């Protein structure tokens, strides 16, 4: 059991999940300097749209290089007209400052650069490891999330596939959907308050922690068994 930390983000992309784990670490460390370092990571990683575009533009090809790439494709006689048009479109999108994939990639890179400091890892490992139980959503298994959790001394424990009984959020969604069908919430803030209230009601009324404890014991036994088998 640890201290509570609730993060509601606009998206659930890898860089948002990474920020959430940093918040969890901040809420569960007693090391003041580590709190300061991690808060600085969050602050320095919170770039404005203009700052993100500036970083992307710094990586863009020069005008001369871009023209050379275009001409190389144009002079490729093996390409059909459709193939040429497709390649030119992709090259143009790649240089676009509003390319969402490049924006997300830049956000991932910035947060990893800011947290990849030996000082942060050293202080994180002075305290007991934090176990994070989460579902198999693909972003939870992203390389960024794994690297962030390695630095923060966090252990990722994934729930078995198709096991909503272990996941309180599934029960929360089910309860919320039933209520929302009956009542209209006129603002985002009221809807968020309702969600938080429902979350605690479901979690405190269930036995998720007992299930997680049994699940963790099962995982440890399975690892020991697999280790023993591999050594024979």
* pLDDT, position 8: 58
Q: Which of 7, 1, 3, 4 is nearest to 195 (CA)?
A: 7
The reported pTM is: 0.69
Q: Which of 141, 110, 185, 134 is nearest to 14 (CA)?
A: 141
Q: Which of 65, 47, 67 is nearest to 56 (CA)?
A: 47
Taking 80 as the threshold, does the pLDDT of residue 228 lie above it? Answer: no
What whole-number distance in Å separates Cα of residue 58 and Cα of residue 55?
A: 5
**SS3 of 1, please?**
coil
Q: CA-based Rg of the chain, rounded to a whole angstrom?
A: 23
| Predicted confidence band of residue 225 (pLDDT cuts 50, 70, 90) | very low
Sign for the CA dihedral angle at 196, 171, 1, 10 comes to negative
Roughly how many angstroms between the first and final C-alpha of the chain, as a whole number?
A: 36
What whole-number distance in Å separates Cα of residue 105 and Cα of residue 54?
A: 14
Tens digits of residue pLDDT in 189-219: 888 888 888 887 877 766 655 655 555 555 5
List the structure tokens of 166.
Answer: 């272990």
| Predicted confidence band of residue 62 (pLDDT cuts 50, 70, 90) | confident
Q: Are 172 and 199 in contact (CB under 8 A)?
A: yes
Cα→Cα distances 50→5, 41, 112, 231, Å: 30, 19, 20, 55
């Amino acid at each position: 059991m640890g201290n509570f930390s609730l993060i509601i983000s606009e998206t659930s992309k890898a860089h948002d999940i990474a920020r959430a784990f940093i918040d969890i670490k901040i809420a569960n460390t007693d090391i003041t300097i580590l709190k300061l370092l991690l808060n600085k990571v969050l602050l320095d990683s919170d770039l404005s749209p203009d700052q993100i575009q500036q970083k992307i533009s710094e990586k863009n090809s020069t005008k001369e290089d871009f023209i050379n790439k275009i001409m190389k494709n144009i002079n490729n006689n093996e390409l059909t007209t459709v193939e040429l048009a497709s390649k030119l479109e992709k090259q143009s999108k790649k240089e676009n400052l509003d390319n969402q994939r490049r924006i997300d990639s830049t956000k991932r890179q910035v947060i990893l650069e800011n947290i990849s400091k030996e000082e942060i890892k050293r202080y994180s490992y002075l305290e007991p490891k934090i176990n994070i139980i989460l579902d198999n959503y693909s972003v939870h298994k992203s390389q960024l999330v794994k690297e962030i959790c390695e630095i923060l001394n966090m252990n990722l424990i994934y729930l078995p596939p198709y096991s909503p009984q272990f996941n309180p959020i599934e029960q929360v969604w089910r309860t919320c959907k039933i209520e929302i069908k009956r009542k209209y919430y006129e603002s985002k803030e009221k809807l968020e308050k309702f969600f938080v209230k429902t979350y605690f009601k479901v979690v405190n009324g269930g036995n998720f922690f007992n299930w997680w404890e049994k699940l963790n014991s099962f995982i440890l036994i399975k690892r020991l068994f697999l280790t023993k088998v591999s050594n024979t």
